[in-house]
Structure 1
Amino acid sequence: MSLQPRQRAGRSAAALALTLAGSAAGLIAWSRLGVDHRKPLPPALPGRRARLATRRAGDVSFYASADAEGVPLLLIHSINAAANAYEVRPLYLHFRTSRPVYALDLPGFGFSERSRRRYTPRLMVEAIHATVEEIRRRHGPAPIDALALSLSASFLARASLERSDAYRSLALISPTGFDGQLSGDGPPDGHRGRDWLLHLLDRPPLGRPLFDALVTRPSMRFFLQKTFGSPAIEEDLLAYDHASAHQPGAEHAPFCFISGHLFPTDSTRLYEQLRLPVWMLHGERGDFVDYRHVPRVAGRPNWRVETLPTGAFPHFERPGTVAAGYEAFLASLRGGPADRRV
């Protein structure tokens, strides 16, 4: 006897439910038994690594190479599933011989606190504030230079607007917020987070297994190729990213990124409000080449916008060219790039 349509539908639904349950169980078992969540994580950069216990951003880690004299430079990595200070390594290595250089691990990444909490632009700004305050405590109250990559450029822009006396200049490499999708004239100090999506992703028992599936080596290579716009990625960066993404708590900040909580609502407006000297550089290859709103700032006297035939991490592909361009910008500031103190 053939089954009625309702019976067939019921059996199909039951089979689907069993399949999904089995897949989930398999994913959880693979994550718990087959993935090392405590891979050794060496320092991303040379120099001394320090931690700040902050009230608003939690424990924040940063690297310092401060043997040289001059205006301190703060470097800030981008935001992605496996972000960390290794992303600024070519710039850190270049400038550490001529001036004090600091590199921040933003909250949720690298050696900074990775607790399960809501990661937002405000949290990142507070971490930048705390780090800049510590740098000025060490080197004196004179303003510093700061450089940020990608989405973190909007965090740096807000931090500088809130404490403009702390900065001499800003450098933005491949900044997010000039494209058609993520440009922002929305409410100030807001984010695009969807709480329902964050709650769906970042909860046991499936949260960590889902993240483990996202940060396999093939998956990370795929996304780095989109960033570089080429199969010729930086292999050492991939290796370090993979280790960083397999630390305890590594999933929490990336899930906030995926659910939109780290994307500001007003990034374009932030850039338009900047009055400090700004050096902006972006590539022309890969998935991150939409800069349609750059004309809103490009003609301003405090902005210098340059491009290179690279992907979104030009400092890895052409480190000498990027360093020379940034040094030329710094040399145009009063006192020159070193601005050495006696």
Structure 2
Amino acid sequence: MQSSIAMPPLNERAQRILKVLIEEYIQDGQPVGSRTLAKRSGLDLSSATIRNVMADLEEMGYIHSPHTSAGRVPTSHGYRFFVDTLVQVKPLEAFYIQQLQGRLSTQLDAHSLVQSASSMLSMITSLTGVVTLPRRQPALIKQIEFVRLSTHQVLVVLVLERNEVQNRIIQVDQPFTTTELHQAASFLNEYLTGKTLHQAREVLLQAMNQDREAMNALMLSAIELGEKAFDQAETESREDCVIAGETNLMSYDDLSDVSKLRDLFGAFTKKRELLSLLDKSIQADGVQIFIGREAGLEVFDDCSLVTAPYSLEDEHIGVLGVIGPKRMPYERVIPIVDLTAKLLSMAMQRD
């Protein structure tokens, strides 16, 4: 899990009261008072004694009093201590285990598996599910072919290692004959075979910046065709993620502010910052939890993210998780995320 900031130590009584306070707040979303804690804590303490403990917890930064309420709510530091020390993970219900196993064992391709994992995370937790697409070792180019479709359209056929074939259509400014396209492909194959898509595009960009007067027409045509093809190929292969259940967050009072929701949905749409955050988890072992500002993004200040990496052949290739309010039921969410990551890893082996 995410490493915590050093906080003042708590004795057993204070830990018990903090645990009950956070559990009550997660369940009801209302500030918790001393009377409730006296009833629910199981400790033979008066309300006055509990108020003194609460005052100490507040002074140490674990809880705070919202507005003029007599009750208290957890701070981000309180949640961090809770998930690191106090939370008791609950076994996942058999019904949900069967659902996850079913949805993550019958799909045929990686993208479908990712979509299923994201939607299942959202459905089971009633939060927002997010799964990054698999990040595999870049494939090397084996062969390039161009096929004339019309005056200004050319089909690019990229044959990569692992017998992967990618087809895409590019628009060209000038017409090419079949012979010219064959010659251009031969020229590119000579220089780009064995390179990754990114490396190929870099080679072509460098060539385009050289003295064009020293190049013959074939070289210019080949470089221009290749630049169009690999620019599109690299754009399509960039890391992305699948997000499901964004509107689930609208049902939580903690995130009901319109401006907060607008900023969150904006982050989901752009994805760039979210992907950067998820990248922090790809090398982690097991579940990671980011609470509020730990995420490093202002838009997630009122949220928690519970993530875990998934793997292929013992190598982490992606991250999945859920996003929700800080008062999410961690004891239930943690095993859901953990199991989904393990099942997705198993399904990827079969893909």
After TM superposition, the score normalised by the length of structure 2 is 0.22
Instruction: Give the helix-richer structure, 1 or 2.
Output: 2
TM-score, normalised to structure 1, is 0.22
- Of structures 1 and 2, the larger Rg is shown by 2
